[in-house]
Amino acid sequence: MENLDHAEKIERITQAIAEKPDGILETLAAQYGVPIQTVLECLPTGITRVDGRHFVDVLKDIAHWGDITFICHSKDAIIEFSGPLPQGEMGHGMYNLRGGSGGLSGHLRPENCAAIFFVSRMFMGMETRSIQFFNTDGDTIFKIYVGRDRERRLKAVQVERFERLAIQFAKAAGNA
């Protein structure tokens, strides 16, 4: 795929998404040698982009949602954590998550987040809602997925909060 120019890659990615809309977007990014954000921007519907400066505000809201799925996806591993996102706090230039024993912990660099995407799409035959955080290279920092109930349905309260956040930050950017 190296012989294709950027416009040709975008055209082929868009076609691939049309043929298999619930496929793995990271596979297309690798296949065409583009950042995952480029593939995400080829989705025909279901995405709202907001500025990365809202990183901390978005995470602080999600900390009140209850159990979510937190995913870090690289070419070498897909790491998932299911449970509540802990309340974080800024310190030493990092947004520090302190989940305690068995909880999600870590240190995040808010200034490296260039864009946040609210994504509503089918994935492997299931409806999903995710909030995806991207760096300036268009690579995923991490993703947070709306949780599911015992019947594997999206949690309605979280879907409502997801939609409210997307609208709130889109309006702040003048995109709504």
CA atoms within a 13 Å half-sphere pointing along the CA-CB vector of 6: 3
Q: Can you name the residues that pair with 131 across neighbouring β-strands?
A: 118, 144
What pLDDT is attached to residue 140? 94
- Token digits of residue 5: 């120019």
Across-strand partners of 90? Answer: 95
Taking the CA atoms of 47, 53, 55 and 61 in sequence, report the sign of the dihedral they define: negative
DSSP secondary structure letter of residue 44? S
- Nearest alpha carbon to residue 37 among 46, 49, 20: 49
Residue 103: the pLDDT is 85
Q: Is 59 helix (H, G, I), strand (E, B) or coil?
A: helix
pLDDT at site 125: 83
CB atoms closer than 10 angstroms to residue 29: 21
Amino acid at 65: W
Per-residue pLDDT of the chain (176 residues; tens, 9 = 90+): 568 899 999 999 999 999 998 888 999 999 999 999 999 999 999 999 999 999 999 999 999 999 999 999 887 889 999 999 999 999 999 999 987 777 899 999 999 999 999 999 988 888 999 999 999 999 999 999 999 999 999 999 999 999 999 999 887 665 55
Look up the pTM and report it: 0.92
User: Closest Cα to residue 32, out of 75, 73, 1, 5?
Assistant: 1
Let me know the angle formed at the C-alpha of 158 by 50 and 172, rounded to the nearest 5 degrees.
Answer: 25
Q: For position 176, what pLDDT does the model report?
A: 52
**Cβ-contact 98, 81 below 8 angstroms:** no
